[in-house]
Amino acid sequence: MTSPSVERRSNPAAWAAFWFGLAGLVLMPIPLFIGLIVGGALSVVAAIFAVIGLFKGLARNGKGIAPVVFAAIFIALTWAGISVGGGTVW
How far apart CA 37 and CA 57 sit, in angstroms, is 30
Q: Is residue 4 part of a domain?
A: no
Is residue 7 classed as helix, strand or coil in its secondary structure?
coil
Q: Is residue 85 scored above 60 in pLDDT?
A: yes
Q: Is residue 5 part of a domain?
A: no
Q: Is residue 33 part of a domain?
A: yes
The residue range of the domain holding 43 is 12-83
Residue type for 68, please?
A: V
How many independent structural domains does the chain possess?
Answer: 1
pLDDT digits (tens, 9 = 90+) for 34-84: 888 999 999 999 999 999 999 999 988 888 899 999 999 999 999 999 888
Q: Is residue 56 part of a domain?
A: yes
> Per residue, what are the HEC states of 16-56?
HHHHHHHHHHHHCCCCCCHHHHHHHHHHHHHHHHHHHHHHH
For the segment 21-46, the average pLDDT, to the nearest whole number, is: 92
How far apart CA 70 and CA 2 sit, in angstroms, is 29
